[in-house]
Amino acid sequence: MAEPKEIPLMEKIVSLCKRRGFIYQSSEIYGGINGFWDYGPLGAELKRNVKELWWNTMTRQRDDVVGLEATIIMSPQIWKASGHVETFADLMVECPITNKRYRADQIEPQSGVVYHYSGAIEDKVKYDAWVTELKGRGERPAFAHQDEAVHPFSVLVQKGKPPESARKVASEYYSKSLFLMRFPILQGERAEPIENTTSYSPDSGAQLSEARPFNLMFKTYVGPVEDKDSVAYLRPETAQAIFAQFKNVLETSRQKVPFGIGQIGKAFRNEVTPRNFTFRSREFEQMELEFFIKPDEVVEAIESFKSSVSSVQPETSELKTGNSKLETPQPDWGWEKWHAYWVEERMKFYEGIGLPRTTLVEYWQKPEELAHYARACVDILFKFPFSKRDEKGELMGEELEGVAARSDFDLSQHARCSGKPMGVFDEELRAAWGKLPKEKQDELWRRYFENRKKYLTKMGVEAEAASKQATEDANGLAKGQYIPHVIEPSAGVDRLTLALICNAYSEVTETDAKGKSETRVILKFHPRVAPIKVGVMPLLKNKPELVKKALEVRDLLRPWMNVFYDDAGSIGRRYARQDEAGTPFCMTIDFDTLGEKPELLDTVTLRYRDDGRQDRVKISELLPLLLEKIR
Ligand code: GAP
Instruction: Give the count of beta carbons closer than 10 Å to the beta carbon of residue 562.
Output: 16
Residue range 125-183, pLDDT digits in tens: 998 998 888 888 877 776 666 788 888 999 999 887 888 999 999 998 888 665 568 89
**In this prediction, what percent of the chain has a pLDDT beyond 90?**
81
pLDDT class for 319, splitting at 50, 70, 90?
A: very low
Asked whether 328 and 315 are in contact (CB, 8 A), the reply is no
How remote is the CA of residue 305 from the centroid of ligand 1, in Å?
A: 41
Q: Does the CB atom of residue 332 touch ligand 1 within 6 A?
A: no
Atom number in ligand 1 closest to CA 493: 16
pLDDT class for 99, splitting at 50, 70, 90?
A: confident
How remote is the CA of residue 394 from the centroid of ligand 1, in Å?
A: 24
**In this prediction, what percent of the chain has a pLDDT beyond 70?**
95
Beta bridge partners of 23: 39
Question: Which of 54, 103, 284 for mutating ligand 1's site (highest number of atoms within 8 Å of CB)?
Answer: 284
Asked whether 602 and 620 are in contact (CB, 8 A), the reply is yes
Nearest to 13 by CA among 359, 353, 506: 506
How remote is the CA of residue 429 from the centroid of ligand 1, in Å?
A: 36
pLDDT class for 321, splitting at 50, 70, 90?
A: very low
Residue range 589-606, pLDDT digits in tens: 999 999 999 999 999 999
Q: What is the pLDDT of residue 270?
A: 92
Atom number in ligand 1 closest to CA 288: 1
Q: Does the CB atom of residue 339 touch ligand 1 within 6 A?
A: no
Nearest to 582 by CA among 622, 533, 628: 533
Q: Does the CB atom of residue 281 touch ligand 1 within 6 A?
A: yes
Q: What is the pLDDT of residue 311?
A: 63
Q: How many CA atoms lie within 13 A of 243 on its CB side?
A: 30
Q: What is the pLDDT of residue 468?
A: 97
DSSP code per residue over 552-605: HHHHHHTTTS-EEE--SS-HHHHHHHHHHHT--EEEEE-TTTTTSSGGGTTEEE
Residue range 228-254: mean pLDDT, rounded: 97
How remote is the CA of residue 430 from the centroid of ligand 1, in Å?
A: 39
Distance between CA atoms of residues 371 and 94, nearest Å? 26
How remote is the CA of residue 469 from the centroid of ligand 1, in Å?
A: 34
How remote is the CA of residue 92 from the centroid of ligand 1, in Å?
A: 19
Instruction: Give the count of beta carbons closer than 10 Å to the beta carbon of residue 520.
Output: 13
Q: What is the pLDDT of residue 324?
A: 52
How remote is the CA of residue 286 from the centroid of ligand 1, in Å?
A: 7
* Residues near 223 by beta carbon (within 8 Å), at least 6 away in sequence: 230
pLDDT class for 323, splitting at 50, 70, 90?
A: very low
Asked whether 318 and 310 are in contact (CB, 8 A), the reply is no
pLDDT class for 369, splitting at 50, 70, 90?
A: very high
Q: Does the CB atom of residue 260 touch ligand 1 within 6 A?
A: no
Average pLDDT, the chain: 93
Does the pLDDT of residue 76 top 80, yes or no?
A: yes
Beta bridge partners of 232: 220
Atom number in ligand 1 closest to CA 490: 9
Distance between CA atoms of residues 305 and 326, nearest Å? 24
Residue range 191-209, pLDDT digits in tens: 999 999 999 999 899 999 9
Q: What SS3 state is found at 144?
A: coil
Q: What is the pLDDT of residue 179?
A: 53
Name the pTM for this structure.
0.85
Q: What is the pLDDT of residue 313?
A: 53
Residue range 32-67, pLDDT digits in tens: 999 999 999 999 999 999 999 999 999 999 999 999
Q: What is the pLDDT of residue 1?
A: 47
Q: Does the CB atom of residue 346 touch ligand 1 within 6 A?
A: no
